[in-house]
Amino acid sequence: MQNQPIPALAPTLQAWQVIVGGICGLILTIGLARFAYTPLLPLMQAQAGLSDVAGGWLASINYLGYMSGALLAAWMDDARLRQRFYSGGLVLSLLITALMGLSENFWVWAISRYLGGLCGAAGMLLGSGLVLNWLMRHGRRPELGLHFTGLGLGIVVSALGAFVMSGWLMSWAQQWLGFAGLGLLFLWPAWVWRPPVPPALNGAHAAASTPARRWMGLMILMYFCAGWGFVISATFTVAIVERQPQLAGQGPWAWALVGLAATPAVFLWDKLARRWGELTALLLAFGLQTVSVLLPAWSSSLAAALAGAFLYGATFIGIVSLTLALVGRRAPSNPGKAMARLTLSYGLAQVCAPALTGALVQASGSFRTALWITAAVLVLGMGLLLSLLLTQEPPNHSP
């Protein structure tokens, strides 16, 4: 159903500028501040002596920062404060990326990863909420698929950036600084084309429909499972490939394939959701992501690794985009706050899963057990989605 526009002030930006600015914001706050860690993790382990356990803890600390940011976002009601937090996250993303290359101290890295998590929450929740709010206020289709191409492009930027820099910046520290410099290219459009502070909605539009408590509870549990599935591959895809002797040096290509699959997939998931409904599309995405996790557990071949990376990239983006858009549309006056409340469960999974995985890998020398556990968590998420479908509560549409 096409949305009726929510009353707005005279627009000062074009739709393409808002979308491009939001995409660049995601590349900064997620692609660099978060995802650059994935292709550089094996190099830090080889050159800086970072252990599997320490690497897992740094990933968990990053998501602890993300969850802290989600808590802040869930608390923020003031539109001006939400935009300021998002704006600060854009600049801070560059600073904490550079900080990773300026020290060899674990606690400095931990501070950087924690602040990077805050930046990720600012971009993912507040930035996406600002974009969704702008789309609804200007009568555009309330979907975030095009906006979330920034996630896939962020992965591509981090993977190709690491690959290109490896030819002339041999040190892990130099490559972190290189990523900070690269981020300057995205800061200008992200800053200049930020959606303006939204006006207050009148009573008719502010009274958004709210889901039943049981429905929302199942959604929160489902998104916890999604967060578990997301973070294992997001953190360890390159390391899983590099751990196989016959695949050494192929890790960045697998990570690039994740981004290349994610970037166009958002359009497919939006189309499937329009035809089948968000919950059915989410169920399909969970099933395919389970396969993506099981492929490298079943086989150590390059084909299995690349197929798993492709399926992971094509599915995690759909799960995030469909879930956040579905929840955000139920609170048109403050989509970022609604997204943040759901994302707390996503963040909790991302704190727990990498630390557990790092410990399992350290003990066994293999990722196989961790991958089987991740697949089981995703199957649980599918069960929760089936329960949601059986409630037969129709997906929410914006007023």
How many Å apart are CA 67 and CA 343, to the nearest integer? 8
In a domain, 272, yes or no: yes
Residue whose tokens read 């400095």: 108
Question: Is 13 or 338 the better-scoring residue by pLDDT?
Answer: 13
In a domain, 205, yes or no: no
Provide the whole-model pTM.
0.77
Contact at 8 Å (CB) between 398 and 332? yes
In a domain, 3, yes or no: no
User: Which amino acid appears at position 337 of this protein?
Assistant: K
In a domain, 4, yes or no: no
DSSP one-letter code for 30: I
User: What residues contact 155, with CB distance under 8 A and at least 6 apart?
Assistant: 31, 35, 255, 256, 258, 259, 262, 313
Contact at 8 Å (CB) between 255 and 307? no
In a domain, 124, yes or no: yes
Q: What is the pLDDT of residues 286-313, one digit of tens each?
A: 999 999 989 888 887 778 878 888 999 8
Question: Is 88 or 4 the better-scoring residue by pLDDT?
Answer: 88
What count of other Cβ atoms lies within 10 Å of the Cβ of residue 202? 11
Count, in order, helices (H) and strands (E) of the chain: 15, 0
Find the CATH number of the domain harbouring 28: 1.20.1250.20
Which pLDDT value is given to residue 235?
Answer: 67
How many Å apart are CA 198 and CA 398, to the nearest integer? 17
Which pLDDT value is given to residue 3?
Answer: 47
Instruction: Provide mean pLDDT across the span 368-373.
Output: 85
In a domain, 183, yes or no: yes
Which pLDDT value is given to residue 5?
Answer: 46
How many domains is the chain built from?
Answer: 1
Smallest Cα–Cα separation from 313: which of 226, 251, 234, 239?
A: 234
Which pLDDT value is given to residue 247?
Answer: 62
Residue whose tokens read 């998501």: 63
Which pLDDT value is given to residue 248?
Answer: 66
Question: Is 376 or 196 the better-scoring residue by pLDDT?
Answer: 376
Contact at 8 Å (CB) between 110 and 61? yes
Residues spanned by the domain of 148: 15-199+210-390
pLDDT-derived band at 23 (thresholds 50, 70, 90) equals very high
Contact at 8 Å (CB) between 70 and 327? no
Question: Is 26 or 396 the better-scoring residue by pLDDT?
Answer: 26
